[in-house]
Structure 1
Amino acid sequence: MDVHVRDLRYFITVAEELHFTRAAERLYVSQPALSKQIRALERQLGLHLFERQARAVTLTAEGEALLPGARALVAGWERTLREARTAGAGVSLTVGMQTAVGRDLQREALSALRKRGWRFSLRLVSWEDPTAGLADGGSDVAFLWLPVPEPVPGGLASRVLVREARWVALPLGHRLAGGDSVPFAELLDEPFVALPRAAGVLRDFWLALDEREGREPVIGAEAASPDEVFEVVAAGLGVVLLSEGNARLYPRPDLMHLPVDGLAPCELALVWRADDTRAEIAEFLTAFPPASPVTA
Structure 2
Amino acid sequence: MNTRDLHYFVVAAEELHFTRAAEILFITQPALSKQIASLERELDAKLFVRGRGGVTLTKAGESLLPYARQIIDLDQEARGAIRNSLTAAGRLTLGFWLAPGQDLLKQIITSFAARHPETHLELRRVDWAHHGAGVENGESDVGLIWLPRGGRLTGLRCHRLGPEKVLIAMSTDHHLADRATIGPEDLAGETIFMVPTTGGVTAPRGAGLGRVRTRVVTTIDETLVGIASGLGICAFTESVARWYPHPGVTLVPFEGAEPAEYCVAWREEDESRSEVRDLVAAIVNSWKSVTETASNA
TM-score bracket relative to the smaller structure: 0.7 to 0.9
Shift of 1:87: 1.7
TM-score under structure 1 length normalisation: 0.73
Who is 2:147 aligned against? 146
Q: Distance in 1 between matches of 2:221 and 2:161?
A: 24
Q: Distance in 1 between matches of 2:254 and 2:19?
A: 35
Unaligned stretches of 5+ residues in structure 1: none
| Mapped pair 1:83 → 2:81 | yes
Contact 1:145 1:268 (C-alpha < 8 Å) held by counterparts: yes
Distance 1:258 1:151, change over 3 A: closer
Q: Distance in 2 between matches of 1:241 and 1:227?
A: 15
Q: Distance in 1 between matches of 2:10 and 2:253?
A: 45
Contact 1:243 1:266 (C-alpha < 8 Å) held by counterparts: yes
After TM superposition, the structure 1 = structure 2 runs for residues 47-126 of structure 1, keeping only pairs within 5 Å, are: 50=47, 52=49, 54=51, 56-58=55-57, 60=59, 67-68=65-66, 70-87=68-85, 89-102=88-101, 104-114=103-113, 116-126=117-127
Give the letter for the 1:247 counterpart: A
Aligned residues: 278
Contact 1:127 1:195 (C-alpha < 8 Å) held by counterparts: no
Contact 1:170 1:234 (C-alpha < 8 Å) held by counterparts: yes
Distance 1:243 1:31, change over 3 A: closer
Who is 2:245 aligned against? 251
Shift of 1:282: 2.5
Q: Distance in 1 between matches of 2:85 and 2:18?
A: 38
| Mapped pair 1:224 → 2:218 | yes
Contact 2:9 2:36 (C-alpha < 8 Å) held by counterparts: no
Distance 1:147 1:73, change over 3 A: closer
Shift of 1:270: 0.9
**CA displacement 1:211-257 (0-9 Å, x = unmatched):** x5x68553364422221221122112333332223222222222233
Of residues 237-246 and 274-283 in structure 1, the stretch that sits farther from structure 2 once superposed is 274-283
Contact 1:193 1:229 (C-alpha < 8 Å) held by counterparts: no
**CA displacement 1:242-275 (0-9 Å, x = unmatched):** 2223222222222233445555543321123345
After TM superposition, the structure 1 = structure 2 runs for residues 93-242 of structure 1, keeping only pairs within 5 Å, are: 93-102=92-101, 104-114=103-113, 116-147=117-148, 153-154=154-155, 156-178=156-178, 182-185=180-183, 188-189=186-187, 191-196=190-195, 198-200=196-198, 206-209=203-206, 216-219=210-213, 221-242=215-236
Give the letter for the 1:266 counterpart: A
Q: Matched residue of 1:105: which SS?
A: helix
**CA displacement 1:123-172 (0-9 Å, x = unmatched):** 32333444333444433322112335676542x33222243333333322
Q: Matched residue of 1:238: which SS?
A: coil
Q: Distance in 1 between matches of 2:4 and 2:235?
A: 32
Shift of 1:75: 2.1
Unaligned stretches of 5+ residues in structure 2: 289-297
Give the letter for the 1:232 counterpart: G
Q: Matched residue of 1:117: which SS?
A: coil
Give the letter for the 1:253 counterpart: P
Higher Rg of the two aligned structures: 1
Q: Distance in 2 between matches of 1:247 and 1:201?
A: 14
Give the letter for the 1:174 counterpart: H
Contact 1:177 1:256 (C-alpha < 8 Å) held by counterparts: yes
Who is 2:277 aligned against? 282
Instruction: Give RMSD over aligned pairs.
Output: 3.7
Distance 1:94 1:18, change over 3 A: farther
Contact 1:49 1:63 (C-alpha < 8 Å) held by counterparts: yes
* Structure with the higher helix share, 1 or 2: 2
Q: Distance in 2 between matches of 1:63 and 1:32?
A: 15
Q: Distance in 2 between matches of 1:33 and 1:215?
A: 20
Who is 2:264 aligned against? 270
Q: Distance in 2 between matches of 1:173 and 1:34?
A: 36
| Mapped pair 1:33 → 2:28 | no
